[in-house]
Structure 1
Amino acid sequence: MAILVDLDVQLARRNLSVGAFAEAVGITPANIAVLKNGRAKAVRFTTPDAICRTLGCQPGDLLRWVPDDDTDNPRA
């Protein structure tokens, strides 16, 4: 997949645990893990809205596009 989710980066910057973040956003920790691990196949717009509202960030802070040939190195 060429769209990567940098939610773990945002949580680390704010020193937030997944559990505390999930509770603040109103999403289960399992769904947060799906987003963090890049296993999400679809996302409703209400989800990044709630995440950005909670973290005080922009959607571009959470998502980034990487060309397919670079997905083996997701942090490239």
Structure 2
Amino acid sequence: MTPAASDDEDTGIRCLLDELLVERGMTLTELSRIVGVSLVNLSVLKNDRARAIRYSTLRAICEALDCEVGDLLVLAPR
């Protein structure tokens, strides 16, 4: 059995939220208002510090940014 990831362990998943926001001409504050997720929580996601994300949040972000999950979250090279 694999041990649980610690808070400082690299998950190997990268969030491209910053890039998508720039491409869409949108701020994190605007996205927060649209999807109903706090600015702090979106910042945690954007800075690759999130350990989990609800499917409903993921869907709301993708709908607001008109993107697919794979456009937002990618596997980082190890």
TM-score by length of 1: 0.84
The Cα offsets for residues 7-35 of structure 1, whole Å up to 9 and x where unpaired, read as 00100001111111100111010011000
Work out which of the two has the higher radius of gyration on C-alpha atoms and give 1 or 2.
2
TM-score by length of 2: 0.82
User: Counterparts of 1:7-26 in structure 2 under 5 Å?
Assistant: 7-26=17-36
Q: Which runs of 4+ in 1 moved over 4 A?
A: none
Aligned to 1:51: 61
The Cα offsets for residues 11-70 of structure 1, whole Å up to 9 and x where unpaired, read as 0001111111100111010011000000001111111100011111100110100233xx
Instruction: Show structure 2 runs of 5+ residues with no match.
Output: 1-10
